[in-house]
Amino acid sequence: MGKQVARAPVLAQMTDAARRALARPPGDVTMSPPVEDGGSDGLRVMATALPLDDSGRPGGAVAVLVDTTSFFMPLRIVTSDPDARLLLLGAYGQPTSASDATLVDWFRRLELERSLVPGFTELIARMREGERGAFPLRAEEAERLGLGRSEAIAVFTPIRVRGGSHWSAATLVSTATLRSHQQALIWRLLAAALLVALFLVTFAVYVVLAQRRAAALRESRQHADQLAHLHDKTQKILDHIPSGVLALTADGRISAVNQVLRARMPPDAIHAPLESAFPQAPGPVVARIRALVAAAASESRAHSVLGETLVLFGEEGRFNLHAVPLEARHPEVQTLLVVEDLSNVRALETQLLRAEKLATVGVLAAGIAHEIGTPLGVVRGRAEYVLSKLGKEHPQGPGIAVIIEQIDRVSRTLRQLLDFSRLQPTAVRPVPLDAILRDVHELLRVEVERRQIHLEMEVPASLPPLAADPDQLQQVLVNLALNACHACGEGGRVTLSASMSEGPGVEPWGLVSLSIRDDGCGIPREHLNQVFDPFFTTKKRGRARGWA
């Protein structure tokens, strides 16, 4: 619904606006002051000249009465903010009804109280000039303008109309809200900074702890590697020492053994009672071992049994037993039982003693042979002289020949004693084994046929030559084969064989294994330690060959 206005004043202003529009170029808008209608100041007369006619004069003017209130309604949104004020000046530099009432009141008081609001006075002047910009207002002036006791910001811009006239709008905003927002923002930034600092401190603590934990883990790993190395070293040492080591738990069960004992124990002895390690030992021996372990554990000191003759693994032998309690009483390994087998040591001692005796006998035999050899040579020479005078056909000739033969036999025996007592060099050269064995077979052919024994040779054709002294090798094989023939009965079998040795440690040397087997009576157990003694025999007198 349109507004009701007085016709006469409006027509006068429309006529005046149209007259002024004719004086301006067509298209320019001429605007009148507010139309006084007793209510709103939003009514304006807007006029513009029509285009020129053919004579170059305006064809007339059009004037329109317009209510501008609706044009500037969007600017009222600014006034919804309690800290903002709107000032709208019309084309004639007067505030409109859309302006804030307080600002309009101070606009009307500028003539008398200009000194109280110098910033506002400057704002009005710059708005009337059509300028655009912003500047601050002091807190005292802002308080007088109704913006609160805080600094304010004035932002202004012109609204230009075609033809040169313009309206001007200004917004005055208090900085109180901005300051509160700024303060809140500062507090938020401080809180964020504190959170970031706390995070950084926490992260730094975590990094330090992680580094310490990593260092501790590295140290633990080094210790674990060292312990593993020590355990591996200890295990290898225990497995390669010649003595047997057996670990016992707190209740007397076997928890671990080294390689020496593992080879002589039943495979199911681990985690079994102590007597399971020695299943072939008599009851009193096992009871004595248990008493030894119990005494060592109760007294916390080592107990030993030295040089005792015991049956531990089915055969009688000499042993040292040591029960050693451990200081760290771990239930899995409380006591160690160390078993030292002295049988090999005893055998070596016996062999050493026998070798010393043989050395002494050899020296004595060499001296005796030398002393006897000279008279025998004289006796043989006299016997040969007598035999040459008498002749072989003489009745005493055969008897003297027997004397010479027996003297030669004694000389050969003395020569063997001398050969045994002195060190002779060995002439080592490549020797084909098949040729040596053929010679051995030929030398034994008569004895083999007499005893009706089968003598067999098993030598691979691919066997390489041996590095040996051929005479000594032939003597060894003849003596061994002849002893084997003597051990066999009628119809027995003796086999001489050779093969390349196999196993660890023999490949670089290319060793050859020689064996002589027979099906005879064998060697009694009590004579095994004497088979390599010179001139030892169990045969009847006159039939012994001895061992080479």
Q: Output the CA–CA distances (angstroms, integers) from residue 344 to 278, 308, 311, 339, 341, in the order listed.
A: 20, 14, 15, 14, 7
Looking at residue 235, what is its pLDDT?
78
Instruction: Report the distance separating Cα 24 and Cα 505, nearest Å.
Output: 128
Residue 522, judged by CB atoms within 10 A of its CB (0-12, 13-18, 19+), counts as exposed
CATH code assigned to 70-174: 3.30.450
CATH topology of domain 429-530: Heat Shock Protein 90 (3.30.565)
Do residues 492 and 521 lie in contact, with contact meaning Cβ atoms separated by under 8 Å? no
The b-or-e profile of 431-469 (16+ CB within 10 A means b, else e) is: bebeebbeebbeebeeebeebebebeeebeeeeeebebb
Q: Taking CA 498 as the corner, what is the angle to CA 494 and CA 503, rounded to the nearest 5 degrees?
A: 130
Instruction: Report the distance separating Cα 79 and Cα 170, nearest Å.
Output: 12
Q: 106: which residues sit within 8 A by CB, 6+ positions away?
A: 113, 117, 120, 144, 145
Instruction: Report the distance separating Cα 358 and Cα 447, nearest Å.
Output: 31
DSSP 3-state assignment of 172?
A: strand
Instruction: Report the distance separating Cα 365 and Cα 94, nearest Å.
Output: 160
Q: Give the residue ranges of DSSP H helices in 336-423.
A: 343-390, 397-421
Q: Would you tell me how many other CB atoms lie within 10 Å of the CB of residue 26?
A: 14
CATH topology of domain 346-421: Helix Hairpins (1.10.287)
Q: 41: which residues sit within 8 A by CB, 6+ positions away?
A: 34, 90, 96, 97
Looking at residue 465, what is its pLDDT?
86
Contacts 24+ apart (CB under 8 A), 392-400: none
- What is the DSSP-derived secondary structure letter of residue 44? E
β-sheet bridge partners, residue 508: none
Instruction: Report the distance separating Cα 516 and Cα 494, nearest Å.
Output: 7
Instruction: Report the distance separating Cα 341 and Cα 199, nearest Å.
Output: 71
Do residues 44 and 70 lie in contact, with contact meaning Cβ atoms separated by under 8 Å? no
Looking at residue 536, what is its pLDDT?
64
Same CATH topology for 70-174 and 246-338: the answer is yes
- What is the DSSP-derived secondary structure letter of residue 404? H
- The pair of structure tokens assigned to 243 is 């003595």
Instruction: Report the distance separating Cα 372 and Cα 249, nearest Å.
Output: 70
What kind of architecture, by CATH, is found in domain 246-338?
A: 2-Layer Sandwich (3.30)
Where are the chain's structural domains? 7-67, 70-174, 175-240, 246-338, 346-421, 429-530
pLDDT of the chain along its 548 residues, tens only? 455 555 667 777 788 877 887 777 887 777 777 776 645 566 777 778 778 777 767 677 887 777 776 666 666 665 667 778 888 888 778 888 778 888 888 988 888 888 888 988 998 899 888 899 998 888 888 888 888 888 888 999 988 877 667 888 898 888 877 777 778 888 889 999 999 999 999 999 999 999 999 999 999 999 999 988 888 887 788 777 878 888 888 888 888 888 888 888 888 888 888 888 888 888 888 888 888 888 888 888 888 888 788 888 877 888 888 988 887 666 778 888 888 888 777 667 777 777 676 667 666 766 776 677 778 777 878 888 887 888 778 888 788 887 887 787 777 667 766 665 565 666 788 888 888 888 888 878 878 888 888 888 888 888 888 888 887 788 788 888 888 888 888 888 889 888 887 655 445 557 888 888 888 888 887 777 667 666 567 766 444 444 43
β-sheet bridge partners, residue 84: 173
Which residue, 515, 529, 516, is CA-closest to 484? 516
Q: Give the residue ranges of DSSP H helices in 68-158.
A: 101-108, 110-113, 118-128, 139-144
Instruction: Report the distance separating Cα 541 and Cα 548, nearest Å.
Output: 18
> Residue 327: enclosing H or E segment and its boundaries?
strand 316-330
